[in-house]
Amino acid sequence: MPTLDERAHTIDARLRSQSADFLSQYDENVDMSWIYHDTALEGVVYTFTELTTAFRSNEVTVVDSSVMPIYDAIRRHKAAIAFARELAGRKRFTVNVDLLKELHSLFCPDDGDAKMVKYRREIPQHRMYFHEYAAPDKIAHRVRLTLDWLADPETKKNVSPLRIAAKAHYDLACVYPFAKSSGKIARLIMNIILMRNGLPPAIIHATERQRYYETLKAPTAANLVQMLEDTLNNSLLSIQKMLDDRSQRGGD
What are 9-37's pLDDT values in tens digits? 999 999 999 999 999 999 999 999 999 99
Written as one letter, the residue type at 105 is: S
232 Cβ contact partners less than 8 Å away, ≥ 6 residues apart = 4, 8, 162, 194, 199, 200, 202
State what percent of residues in the chain have pLDDT above 90.
80
CA distance linking residue 11 with residue 239, whole number of Å = 8
Share the mean pLDDT of the chain.
Answer: 91
- CA 47 vs. chain centroid, Å, equals 20
pLDDT in tens, 120-154: 998 766 555 556 788 899 999 999 999 999 999 99
CATH code: domain of residue 75: 1.10.3290.10
How does 190-226 read in b/e, with b if 16+ C-beta sit within 10 Å?
bbbbbbbbebbbbbbbbebbeebbebbeeeebebbbe
Does residue 95 carry a pLDDT above 90? yes
The DSSP letter of residue 116 is G
Query: How many domains does the chain contain in total?
Result: 1
Q: Give me the pLDDT at residue 74, please.
A: 96
Written as one letter, the residue type at 234 is: N
How does 100-123 read in b/e, with b if 16+ C-beta sit within 10 Å?
bbbbbbbbbeebeebeebebbeee
- Predicted confidence band of residue 158 (pLDDT cuts 50, 70, 90): very high
> Could you tell me the residue range of the domain that residue 183 belongs to?
4-248
CA distance linking residue 145 with residue 69, whole number of Å = 36
Q: Give me the pLDDT at residue 190, please.
A: 98
Q: Give me the pLDDT at residue 127, please.
A: 52
